[in-house]
Each structure stands twice: as structure tokens, then as C-alpha cells.
């Protein structure tokens, strides 16, 4: 089961301001520009509906010219684990202004250790917060073994 959230469909923002703009190779042609550019207190939030409870992993489609950006992921206002408070996103080499710089990264502490997000059936709020650098965001994709 997969839940895809387009970044530009955010429902909540605080601590900064992003732009929704057209971007090369962005899904649907649009993406969020400038998340974390103004402040490390910047937060974006999305509402999702989970129809099948289970354990999910999350991939983030993003681009950045920064060397490395860290951020936190919250579900319903809390981190699902300590690792979710310090997720490292390596540079993709650009902002997808002149070429396709997007990267799909499964969130975790390395390829063999993805973060697990236990999600119950119903509505949830997903937040990205505390970035230490700027990112462009295209999508969040939750995949799992919903039971």
C-alpha cells in the first residue's frame, strides 16, 4: 500500500514561507521552493488518511544544493523514534532549476535501516520541521505492509 503526498498540498506552515512554483521534472510540474531557507524553525504539515493500519516507511523526493540538510519528521505531533529527529539529506547537486536534480531518499539511518512509521487507520498529520538548510520538496511517499 502506498500513500503519496504532493509537497505543494501542505495544510500547515509556520516559522517561514515557501513558494509553490513550476520545477523541472517535479511530479505534477510543481513543487515547494525554499523550505528551511528562512529559519530552522520552519515547519510544513500535511493531512493524510490511512485506510489500512500498518508499519510504513517514508521516501522524500527533494533537491538541494546545500552540502547536507538535516530535519525532523513528526507524526501527529511526535517523532515516531529518536532517529526521526535527525534525518540527514545529502546534496542532490542543485535546485532543479536547469536540470533534474530531484532525489528519492528513503528516510532512515542508512539504506538498511529505514525509519518505521506505525500508522493506525484514520487521519494523521505529517510534519517536516527544524531544517538546518534550504530544500525544494516534491513529494512524500509512504509505503507499507498495511494489514
Number of structural domains (the chain) is: 1
Q: Give the model confidence (pLDDT) of 99-132 as tens digits.
A: 999 999 999 976 668 999 999 999 999 999 999 9
Nearest to 129 by CA among 81, 84, 64: 84
CATH number reported for the structural domain that contains residue 68 in this entry: 2.60.120.260
Nearest to 101 by CA among 137, 64, 56: 64
Q: Give the model confidence (pLDDT) of 8-32 as tens digits.
A: 999 999 999 999 999 999 998 999 9
- What global pTM score does this model have? 0.94
Q: How far apart are the first and last CA of the chain?
A: 10
pLDDT of residue 126: 98
- Find the domain containing 78 and state its range: 2-144
Mean pLDDT of the chain: 94
Q: Which residue has the higher pLDDT, 147 or 76?
A: 76
Amino acid at each position: 500500500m502506498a500513500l503519496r503526498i504532493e509537497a505543494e498540498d501542505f495544510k500547515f506552515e509556520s516559522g517561514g514561507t515557501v513558494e509553490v512554483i513550476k520545477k523541472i521534472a517535479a511530479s505534477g510540474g510543481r513543487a515547494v521552493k525554499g523550505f528551511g531557507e528562512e529559519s530552522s524553525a520552519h515547519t510544513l504539515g500535511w493531512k493524510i488518511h490511512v485506510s489500512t493500519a500498518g508499519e510504513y516507511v517514508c521516501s522524500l523526493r527533494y533537491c538541494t544544493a546545500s552540502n547536507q540538510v538535516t530535519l525532523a519528521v513528526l507524526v501527529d505531533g511526535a517523532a515516531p523514534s529518536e532517529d526521526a529527529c535527525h534525518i540527514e539529506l545529502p546534496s542532490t547537486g542543485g535546485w532543479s532549476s536547469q536540470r533534474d536534480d530531484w532525489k528519492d531518499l528513503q528516510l532512515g539511518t542508512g539504506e538498511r535501516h529505514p525509519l518505521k512509521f506505525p500508522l493506525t487507520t484514520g487521519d494523521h498529520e505529517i510534519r517536516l520541521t527544524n531544517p538546518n538548510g534550504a530544500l525544494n520538496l516534491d513529494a512524500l511517499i509512504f509505503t507499507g505492509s498495511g494489514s
